[in-house]
Amino acid sequence: MDSIISDIIRVLHQWPDEPETGKDLTFFERLHQASQGRTRLEQELIEAKEAHEGAPPFDPLLYKLTQLVRAREQIDEQIRDLFVYARHFVRPRPYPLAVLAKASGMSASGIRLSSGTEGRMREIARNIGRSDNSGCITPPKNRAMEELADALAEYRNVRTGGGREPKAMGRNPARKASGPPPRLREGF
């Protein structure tokens, strides 16, 4: 299994080819990056192997493959979010499909299909705090997002040693008094 770990490290962080014109600064930068990547990946795989319990036995190839697939799915979701933003929220006019297609290497119809879900549009409207270009999707009217942002800023201030414990977020006046208000949890 250790030989598989060594091979995976070498496959994912390959040494650069030596340029025909000689070793220049770019070559040594790429060599350094590959070396650092190999060290980080080796440590990651060793820690994952040590943390693994039970059957089936730890398989470093399947572990890393699963991680990379998850990362790709997360990147694909971010790309779709940018398509939604570019097509429905950029003002005064949305980005043309052809421009987005060229930048992403996708077809215009693929972008159109990726950028039209109402749920995704609602999430973006909520996060940027404004409605879409058509005015059909609007962000929530309450202060919940502002309170959350304030609490997060206080939390970051405390973590960096610059202040007191975060205060509780405000109560919803429509909510019955049933205990203390929710507090910002550790690890948020």
pLDDT tens-digit readout, 90-124: 999 999 999 999 999 999 999 988 877 888 999 99
Spatial neighbors of 164 by CB under 8 A, at least 6 apart, are 158
pLDDT of residue 187: 42
pTM, to two decimals = 0.65
Residue 179: pLDDT above 80?
no
Percent of the chain with pLDDT over 70: 81
**Side chain identity, residue 57:** P
| DSSP for 165-176, written as a single string | PPPPPPPPTTS-
The residue among 156, 141, 149 whose CA lies nearest residue 170 is 149
Spatial neighbors of 150 by CB under 8 A, at least 6 apart, are 169
pLDDT of residue 42: 94
Q: How far apart are CA 26 and CA 16, in angstroms?
A: 10
A 10 A CB-CB count for 105 gives: 7
At 73, list the tokens. 């799915």
**What's the chain's average pLDDT?**
83
- 23 or 73: which carries more pLDDT confidence? 73
Report the range of poorest mean pLDDT among 32-46, 132-146, 154-168: 154-168
Maximum average pLDDT range among 44-58, 70-84, 128-142 = 70-84
